[in-house]
Structure 1
């Protein structure tokens, strides 16, 4: 079996320059000049064994969907109704990396009943032909999709589906065809779609990450390969592509540093390709804590309420330089761990006398991806109630730190910090430098959605970038149905459609053929609506303002 889907192998992200002696065709999958996926045979080691063998950043992060199941709010209709600016995405590709797509839905058919999908790479189906240059999944091109649409049972010909519905909804918000009966349509109805259905993460990664097996999440390495696939299709067809990534993760430092951040950042510096990412829906989830200690003895305590049915989860604590923090943990029954001091490599397991809780603590002085301290605490069958964490700086200096719980459905709403902070809740890769990070608002009330992630980043960069409509956005749902989507994922899809319009103006119409994704993002930020006198822009909720394509084009003196 292919190692990338073989559950006996664990996938790790490695730096090609650091581990060149370990790289060969038999044990790696190449991502780009910087990164590869290393496949190692796993013999069910304990969590601490893995922590001692491999760096934290080597383990792929897990990403969750950022939407739960009004175009004129962003100036879209004003532009499309102008005969000189009728931008509907003609000649543009839209890339969707998600839970799949219901290719049979009328939203993805043209007036002749043919598909508007160029290709689908279903990473979860292993009995077909994968895309050229890839080793797993099955690719379905336009020709076979059209053949399936003519068949009595299309799924006998092209068996890919979207059982979740998130991917179908996202794709339709961007580029769904007009439904004459209900008036529902996407932003760019003439664009064509390239879709990647992500496979489920490996069970060994879920186990290592302390994530339940039934959680809705997807692993970083599959996402990176999906980006590589979309990039290759765009180059092959020589067409611009606007990529939507409506997922996020609270794993990581929430700064610019992460493998996926870096990977995507490099892509959007190229001509005619852009990536839009969600700010996340963690703003009101009470899953972020910010702490500071400014006076001797430079200690700080905070509390976490753990819900009754919580079985597995991980907590990350990140401190800034030059602090070196020790940690001591008290369970709800009053039992303490010993003080765990920072080390370059450390992992300590703890069991408790009066309860069945087990925890593993890594207190890493130098997390090699960003050089800062990470305290990683993993819980198995944690006792319900209040857990207390005591931090103390060994440097006898003032310090600040952040703590994050997992995003999305990786943890229940019954587990939360008692004194949370809604700030710095943008999920990754929304903290990257060059990507366009989108948060959501309700155009009817002109207010930010309560769940939308708040900025800024942990290293104080301005993110989110812009705000877009994200409340009850009409969309397609699997099996020919229509519904609506709410959240920053919906806002990200909406914005991806606007980017496709800009690519049509710049590339297809010949106004700026060398435009990069980063250029597009700067135009969107400059053209954002900042007319609301109640706010100072930029700010942690609205970023640089409300998405406004008419404002963008107006500033270009068109």
Structure 2
């Protein structure tokens, strides 16, 4: 279900009339949003939710439209709230996202360019959105020769100094004028700091490295870096890190940095979408982040936002499949028939005191759950409900081990069982599924990304398939896996397909090893990892977008059209079956992309010629098929 289907009409809650509905003030929103005493959930509701919530003193809502809201509830009070407020129809917890993998080396002697000039386009009038750690706006590679910034906007969610976006009242927005003024001050010798005007920084370097691959400008004639769209513009969102209580709810006990929550990511996508509409220029957004939360069926709020917002022309979102490809955080199996069992065996490391497991199976299946600890204590026949999300608490052992779980039926017909085991003990845990009334019986289970886990916490029967990260389940997203172009092999950790529902992903694979790019403090570095592969694909989509808007007969593209062009620009090796879970539809090639665009352009010119000669009573269809199939047809 999209936001439009929910009834969202595009208006800002702060601009709604008196007869619409009530919501929180900006100050109230910020107080709840940043408080460690309140958990955050997305909810779908019916009726007068504001009045219903106002009757309790441990929760509040920020209403974003007539059927959708952000719920703030005091830690530990969700179950009580759900029993008191039947207006809450469905609920989704915040998912935890981590950065796409990026390994940096300062020795650039073995670095190679991600792109060599093959297509005579440079990204002019195309905006590339970067969501992640921010971007070094003072780096000369992102400044035009006239001294003006190529960044049109920065929303820094971590700074509370200035104006915030119209729809999400937190963080600070810096416009191009602010950024240009800061750049001018940085070049003066007055002693003033540019950060007094634009306080935004990329302390990690992740976003800067991505931007360098996509659109870093050449500095001098002997510069070694060669980006894909060096004249594009940028729009940047720096994400604020996930709250501690959100991490705890998600079962994360490890002390981690650069970890984010889906509410901020969804807000970032919404912000860039509104910016693209206001500037009326094509935009390609790179989500260089991913999560193991979600059933890879396109049902998460983030994926539904993506599909809703990319239904219009010239707004595209790109991601990469992540680094969980070894399968240690995913398992699958089947409960064959009524009365049979299937065991999910989990090795829990010594320091893993919380453990979050999410299991997805068809909602038509009735399955009983039994959990056994390493010491043999067992909790049997955990009751499940499919009517409304519910949170239930159980005592598993005398030493205060407990289980919280939420069951819910997703819009695509799956039952999601989210289990949080508290005070876990080291050793092998067993979650046994027993068939009660089996129609399908197939299940998939995920735990958080491996970098969020302690020690050797993992599934003992891992499944490397369906290890691509959320939001790869979105229908309109374009995703890439990561391969080593030096030895022509898929990087083992690269996330693998296919999503349970929606389109086949990865769309393609891209090179991600030893690529020259921009580092912090105006340095040149080489980057390796999925983040680099995704940046290459983002640059390619920007090229396609520019080609589309520059062709008067096309006037831009929709997301499925861009995806098809990317698929048709792939190299397929003999002996491999495509699409497959590692390579997608093949290795993306800029050379082949050039040829595809030329063929489309040729077909357009042919159509124009036919129409100009008055032969427009016929319809013509351009079909691009592999040459080997054409030869068979011809013979």
Counterpart residue number, 1:141: 175
Secondary structure of the residue that 1:433 maps to in structure 2? coil
Counterpart residue number, 2:365: 323
Paired with 2:81 and 2:95, the residues of 1 have a C-alpha distance of 15
Counterpart residue number, 2:42: 13
Residues 363 and 207 (structure 1 numbering): CA distance in 2 closer, same or farther, change over 3 Å? closer
- Please list the CA deviations of residues 249-277 of structure 1 after superposition, one character each: whole Å capped at 9, or x if unmatched: 11111112222111101222211111102
Paired with 2:531 and 2:416, the residues of 1 have a C-alpha distance of 29
Paired with 1:37 and 1:29, the residues of 2 have a C-alpha distance of 6
Determine if the alignment matches structure 1 residue 37 to structure 2 residue 69: yes
For residues 116-131 of structure 1, the aligned pairs below 5 Å read 116-131=150-165
Which of 212, 223, 231 matches 1:172?
Answer: 212
Counterpart residue number, 2:194: 154
Counterpart residue number, 2:123: 89
Residues 236 and 56 (structure 1 numbering): CA distance in 2 closer, same or farther, change over 3 Å? closer
Confirm or deny: 8 A CA contact 2:154 2:235 kept in the other structure: yes
Residues 49 and 162 (structure 1 numbering): CA distance in 2 closer, same or farther, change over 3 Å? farther
Residues 106 and 358 (structure 1 numbering): CA distance in 2 closer, same or farther, change over 3 Å? farther
Residues 186 and 37 (structure 1 numbering): CA distance in 2 closer, same or farther, change over 3 Å? farther
Measure how far apart 1:285 and its partner are.
4.9
Paired with 1:175 and 1:140, the residues of 2 have a C-alpha distance of 20
Determine if the alignment matches structure 1 residue 210 to structure 2 residue 251: yes
Gap runs ≥5 in structure 2: 1-26, 55-59, 104-110, 186-190, 602-635
Measure how far apart 1:116 and its partner are.
1.3
Paired with 1:55 and 1:282, the residues of 2 have a C-alpha distance of 33
Determine if the alignment matches structure 1 residue 3 to structure 2 residue 37: no
Paired with 2:182 and 2:307, the residues of 1 have a C-alpha distance of 37
Paired with 1:97 and 1:398, the residues of 2 have a C-alpha distance of 39
Measure how far apart 1:202 and its partner are.
3.1
Which of 58, 65, 77 matches 2:99?
Answer: 65
Paired with 1:459 and 1:368, the residues of 2 have a C-alpha distance of 12
Measure how far apart 1:109 and its partner are.
1.9
Which of 393, 397, 403 matches 1:348?
Answer: 393
Confirm or deny: 8 A CA contact 2:112 2:516 kept in the other structure: no
Measure how far apart 1:461 and its partner are.
4.8
Counterpart residue number, 1:375: 417
Residues 266 and 538 (structure 1 numbering): CA distance in 2 closer, same or farther, change over 3 Å? same
Deviates more, 1:4-13 or 1:381-390: 4-13
Counterpart residue number, 1:83: none
For residues 93-492 of structure 1, the aligned pairs below 5 Å read 93-151=127-185, 152=191, 153-180=193-220, 183-212=224-253, 214-215=255-256, 216-294=258-336, 297-344=339-386, 345=390, 347-353=392-398, 356=399, 358-362=401-405, 364=407, 366-395=408-437, 399-407=441-449, 409-412=451-454, 414-459=456-501, 461-492=503-534
Secondary structure of the residue that 1:493 maps to in structure 2? helix
Paired with 1:313 and 1:165, the residues of 2 have a C-alpha distance of 31
Determine if the alignment matches structure 1 residue 77 to structure 2 residue 111: no
Secondary structure of the residue that 2:379 maps to in structure 1? coil
Residues 381 and 179 (structure 1 numbering): CA distance in 2 closer, same or farther, change over 3 Å? farther
Residues 500 and 23 (structure 1 numbering): CA distance in 2 closer, same or farther, change over 3 Å? farther
Paired with 1:71 and 1:427, the residues of 2 have a C-alpha distance of 27
Measure how far apart 1:92 and its partner are.
0.7
Deviates more, 1:181-190 or 1:534-543: 181-190
- Please list the CA deviations of residues 115-171 of structure 1 after superposition, one character each: whole Å capped at 9, or x if unmatched: 211110101111212234541111112222122223242222211112222222222
Secondary structure of the residue that 2:472 maps to in structure 1? coil
Measure how far apart 1:103 and its partner are.
1.2
Measure how far apart 1:508 and its partner are.
3.2
Confirm or deny: 8 A CA contact 1:48 1:349 kept in the other structure: no
Secondary structure of the residue that 1:146 maps to in structure 2? helix
- Please list the CA deviations of residues 428-448 of structure 1 after superposition, one character each: whole Å capped at 9, or x if unmatched: 110111211111111111111
Residues 478 and 425 (structure 1 numbering): CA distance in 2 closer, same or farther, change over 3 Å? same
Confirm or deny: 8 A CA contact 2:29 2:62 kept in the other structure: no
Instruction: Answer with 1 or 2: which has the greater Rg.
Output: 2
Secondary structure of the residue that 2:588 maps to in structure 1? coil
Paired with 1:43 and 1:306, the residues of 2 have a C-alpha distance of 29
Residues 289 and 55 (structure 1 numbering): CA distance in 2 closer, same or farther, change over 3 Å? farther
Measure how far apart 1:495 and its partner are.
0.7
Deviates more, 1:90-99 or 1:380-389: 380-389
Confirm or deny: 8 A CA contact 1:48 1:360 kept in the other structure: no
Paired with 1:72 and 1:527, the residues of 2 have a C-alpha distance of 19
Residues 12 and 397 (structure 1 numbering): CA distance in 2 closer, same or farther, change over 3 Å? closer
Paired with 1:441 and 1:547, the residues of 2 have a C-alpha distance of 11
Q: Which has the higher contact order (CA 8 A, sep 6+)?
A: 1
Paired with 2:312 and 2:178, the residues of 1 have a C-alpha distance of 31
Measure how far apart 1:9 and its partner are.
4.5
Measure how far apart 1:300 and its partner are.
1.1
Confirm or deny: 8 A CA contact 2:39 2:74 kept in the other structure: no
TM-score, length basis structure 1: 0.90
Which of 8, 22, 45 matches 2:49?
Answer: 22
Measure how far apart 1:319 and its partner are.
1.4
Paired with 2:396 and 2:313, the residues of 1 have a C-alpha distance of 54
TM-score, length basis structure 2: 0.79
Residues 112 and 262 (structure 1 numbering): CA distance in 2 closer, same or farther, change over 3 Å? same
Measure how far apart 1:246 and its partner are.
1.2
Residues 517 and 458 (structure 1 numbering): CA distance in 2 closer, same or farther, change over 3 Å? closer
Measure how far apart 1:551 and its partner are.
1.7
Measure how far apart 1:398 and its partner are.
6.2
